């Protein structure tokens, strides 16, 4: 890996960002460090004077006075107190600055994740995003903790250098030879550390990515017996990270002892030369103690410069990765307008919509997707009058899930427009579409929370409204039967519930918000046909009720019973609308539609026969099986 020759310059720019963001905190920490530096030099001066004026006379005369001892003690204690205050101020405010910057940029990265569209997230693994928000942010601001100390060291070196030169120029020259050696060694240290630190930082993200995928795909890993393969995959990345960290440790292990030894060698040289000059009468014993103690004290603070330089490569790498997120483009633009039809069902219109995923994106839920960059939707147009139900029907990979995402503006079309109440969704203010439309996706996600918490998700609504949504979703019965009703914890990802129960809670989550547009993307695939029929019938009754939470409904469906409840069917194949109209009319005039729906129905009947033979239906055991059998029949048909 090539070392960036400008790594130090880039590191200073990163530190400059923090200093400009927290100037007052940084100034106080530097003042504390400067106080510590001044008191460190003052300690050497005080010890020199005490040695010269109190200790040596006491040895010569054999006694001393109480006043002399009290004055010496007061001087030493006073310097120590101010030195302690400087250390406290430096450490507290340096830590405060570091943690503030970490918190600020974690929030900034997280907000950016929320702003960026799904199209961007499709191109970036979740593990990498977690690493950006955590490890990379920490690495970016790691040098802030030792930075004030390093600044104080510079101040200390200036004061100490002046003091040493004034005391004895000859000894000063000998001692000062140590500082260029330390500076040169730090430069070599930084250059050797930069590539291995960069490699280690990258591997942290890769380990996080592999671990996240393994946890997310736990069910697949278990059912397909892939535990060992996943363990091996994780072990490979973890061992690479281990080796990279060991490489970092080796570099530090090589340079740290040398950096520790050089100042001590300088002290030894000063004592040897100083002793010779003391015997020659060129300097006093107090002067020698003063100079030697200064070099002794400078040995440790000089290491702070090395700490900053050691953290700079990781800081630059972390900052670069964080900035790649913050500088990412593609966030959805918003307009100034609001929708004014609150309480009434929304009018929906899709005009000549075209959409294509970029080459690295894959469409979840649409089978073969569009990973090659081709268009998955071509000039799709249809309209839904307020309170109407539209069924979107098509084979796997036809673009149904993409269309559902466009309707609630998770992504924007490349061409064409989606209109709510006659207004392009791109002209609606931020949050306006979410207040009007709700999507219930194929893949249900429940939080490790109570039933109530998963339904309301922070919405302040009374329990009566929660139960109303549960009744519409046909979930009130099983929720009432749970141990604590609405207060029952459902476990991580709803582990204590069946697939059909999870889908019904997800539907209730959308309904409790009383959306004016409800988009169901195959949202009842794990629910048996009878329950699904009751759900849709309940939604139909709510649409027709004058005081009910009516909504325009778009449902991605495959069951004939579900499709027949729709006012209109939009038949999509290969991303194009091949036909539109009532279900009965499409059955008569469209052979492709008729064959597809009949294939779905045959798969349903075969599965129901298997369920009856196996002792009844269970939406936990058969939810996924039914869907896969239908897709298999669809493939056989094609």
Determine the pLDDT at residue 192: 77
Determine the pLDDT at residue 524: 67
The sign of the dihedral angle between the CA atoms of 534, 535, 538, 544 is negative
Residue that wins the pLDDT comparison between 128 and 141: 141
Residue that wins the pLDDT comparison between 96 and 540: 96
With 0-12 / 13-18 / 19 or more C-beta atoms within 10 angstroms meaning exposed / middle / buried, residue 530 is exposed
Determine the pLDDT at residue 362: 41
Residue that wins the pLDDT comparison between 378 and 57: 378
Q: How far is the C-alpha of 437 from the C-alpha of 461, rounded, in Å?
A: 18
Which residue, 159, 158, 163, 155, is CA-closest to 31?
Answer: 155
The model's pLDDT over 269-285, given as tens digits with 9 standing for 90+, comes to: 777 777 777 777 777 77
Residue identified by tokens 């953290």 is 311
Q: Are 326 and 120 in contact (CB under 8 A)?
A: no
H or E segment to which residue 390 belongs = strand 389-393
Average pLDDT, the chain: 76
Of 216-225, 325-334, 349-358, 359-368, the range with the lowest mean pLDDT is 359-368
pLDDT band at residue 303 under the 50/70/90 scheme:
low
The model's pLDDT over 201-257, given as tens digits with 9 standing for 90+, comes to: 778 777 877 777 777 677 667 766 777 887 888 888 888 888 888 888 888 777 777
pLDDT band at residue 399 under the 50/70/90 scheme:
confident
- What average pLDDT does the segment 558-563 reach? 76
pLDDT band at residue 528 under the 50/70/90 scheme:
low
**Domains of the chain, CATH where assigned:** 7-326 (1.20.1560.10), 348-637 (3.40.50.300)
Q: How far is the C-alpha of 234 from the C-alpha of 207, rounded, in Å?
A: 7
Secondary structure (3-state) at 382 = strand
Determine the pLDDT at residue 272: 77
The model's pLDDT over 434-491, given as tens digits with 9 standing for 90+, comes to: 888 888 887 788 887 787 888 888 777 888 888 888 888 778 788 888 878 777 887 7
pLDDT band at residue 526 under the 50/70/90 scheme:
low
Of 73-82, 492-501, 570-579, the range with the lowest mean pLDDT is 492-501
Q: Are 606 and 592 in contact (CB under 8 A)?
A: no
Secondary structure (3-state) at 460 = coil
Determine the pLDDT at residue 297: 63
Residue 637 has pLDDT above 50, yes or no: no
CB atoms within 10 A of CB 346: 23
pLDDT band at residue 619 under the 50/70/90 scheme:
very low
Checking DSSP bridges between strand 437-440 and strand 423-424, what pairing results, if any? unpaired
Determine the pLDDT at residue 621: 37
Tell how many helices (H) and how many strands (E) occur in the chain. Answer: 25, 10
Determine the pLDDT at residue 302: 62
Determine the pLDDT at residue 527: 67
Residue 634 has pLDDT above 60, yes or no: no
With a pLDDT cut of 90, the percent of the chain lying above it is 0
Quote the tokens at residue 216.
């997310």
CA 244 to each of CA 67, 186, 238, 568, 580: distance values in angstroms, whole numbers, following the listed order: 61, 21, 10, 60, 60
Q: How far is the C-alpha of 179 from the C-alpha of 144, rounded, in Å?
A: 23
Q: How far is the C-alpha of 48 from the C-alpha of 68, rounded, in Å?
A: 14
CA 382 to each of CA 46, 256, 395, 563, 564: distance values in angstroms, whole numbers, following the listed order: 88, 70, 18, 17, 18
Residue 5 has pLDDT above 70, yes or no: no
Residue that wins the pLDDT comparison between 90 and 600: 90
Q: How far is the C-alpha of 212 from the C-alpha of 223, rounded, in Å?
A: 18
Q: What are the start-end ranges of the E strands in 48-125?
A: none
């Amino acid at each position: 890996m090539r070392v960036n020759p400008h790594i130090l310059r880039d590191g200073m720019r990163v530190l400059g960002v923090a200093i400009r963001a927290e100037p007052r905190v940084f100034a106080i920490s530097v003042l504390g460090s400067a106080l510590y530096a001044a008191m460190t030099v003052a300690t050497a001066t005080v010890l020199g004077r005490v040695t010269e004026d109190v200790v040596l006379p006491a040895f010569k005369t054999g006694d001393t006075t109480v006043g002399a001892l009290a004055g010496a003690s007061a001087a030493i204690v006073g310097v120590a107190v101010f030195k302690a205050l400087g250390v406290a101020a430096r450490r507290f405010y340096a830590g405060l600055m570091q943690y503030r910057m970490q918190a600020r940029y974690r929030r900034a990265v997280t907000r950016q994740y929320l702003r960026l569209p799904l199209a961007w997230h499709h191109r970036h693994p979740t593990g990498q995003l977690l690493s950006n928000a955590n490890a990379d942010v920490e690495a970016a601001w790691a040098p802030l903790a030792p930075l004030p100390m390093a600044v104080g060291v510079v101040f200390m070196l200036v004061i100490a250098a002046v003091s040493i030169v004034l005391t004895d120029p000859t000894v000063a020259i000998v001692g000062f030879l140590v500082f260029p050696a330390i500076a040169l060694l730090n430069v070599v240290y930084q250059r050797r550390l930069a590539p291995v630190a960069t490699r280690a930082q990258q591997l942290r993200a890769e380990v996080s990515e592999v671990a996240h995928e393994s946890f997310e795909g736990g069910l697949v890993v278990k059912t397909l017996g892939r535990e060992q393969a996943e363990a091996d995959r994780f072990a490979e990345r973890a061992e690479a990270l281990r080796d990279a960290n060991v490489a970092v440790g080796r570099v530090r292990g090589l340079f740290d002892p040398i950096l520790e030894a050089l100042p001590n060698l300088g002290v030894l040289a000063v004592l040897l030369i100083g002793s010779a000059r003391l015997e020659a009468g060129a300097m006093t014993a107090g002067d020698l103690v003063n100079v030697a103690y200064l070099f002794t004290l400078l040995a440790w603070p000089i290491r702070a410069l090395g700490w900053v330089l050691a953290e700079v490569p990781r800081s630059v790498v972390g900052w670069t990765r964080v900035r790649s997120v913050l500088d990412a483009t593609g966030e959805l633009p918003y307009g100034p307008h609001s929708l004014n039809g609150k309480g009434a069902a929304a009018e929906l219109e899709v005009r000549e919509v075209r959409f294509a995923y970029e080459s690295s994106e894959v469409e979840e839920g649409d089978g073969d997707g569009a990973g090659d960059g081709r268009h998955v939707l071509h000039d799709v147009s249809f309209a839904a009058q307020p309170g109407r139900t539209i069924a979107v029907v098509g084979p796997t990979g036809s673009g149904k899930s993409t269309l559902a995402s466009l309707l609630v503006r998770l992504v924007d079309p490349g061409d064409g427009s989606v209109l709510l109440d006659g207004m392009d969704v791109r002209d609606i203010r931020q949050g306006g579409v979410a207040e009007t439309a709700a999507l219930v996706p194929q893949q249900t996600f429940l939080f490790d929370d109570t039933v109530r918490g998963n339904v309301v998700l922070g919405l302040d609504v009374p329990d009566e409204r929660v139960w109303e949504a549960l009744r519409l979703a046909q979930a009130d019965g099983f929720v009432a039967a749970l141990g604590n009703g609405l207060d029952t914890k459902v476990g991580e990802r709803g582990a204590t519930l069946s697939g059909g129960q999870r889908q019904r809670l997800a539907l209730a989550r959308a309904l409790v918000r009383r959306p004016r547009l409800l988009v169901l993307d195959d949202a009842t695939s794990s629910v048996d046909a009878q329950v699904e029929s009751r759900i849709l019938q309940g939604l139909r009754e709510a649409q027709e009720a004058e005081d009910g939470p009516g909504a325009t409904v778009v449902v991605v469906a495959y069951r004939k019973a579900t499709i027949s409840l729709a006012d209109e069917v939009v038949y999509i194949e290969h991303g194009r609308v091949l036909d539109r109209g009532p279900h009965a009319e499409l059955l008569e005039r469209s052979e492709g539609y008729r064959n597809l729906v009949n294939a779905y129905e045959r798969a349903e009947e075969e599965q129901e026969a298997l369920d009856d033979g196996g002792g009844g239906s269970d939406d936990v055991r058969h939810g996924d099986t039914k869907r896969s059998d239908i897709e298999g029949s669809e493939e056989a048909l094609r």
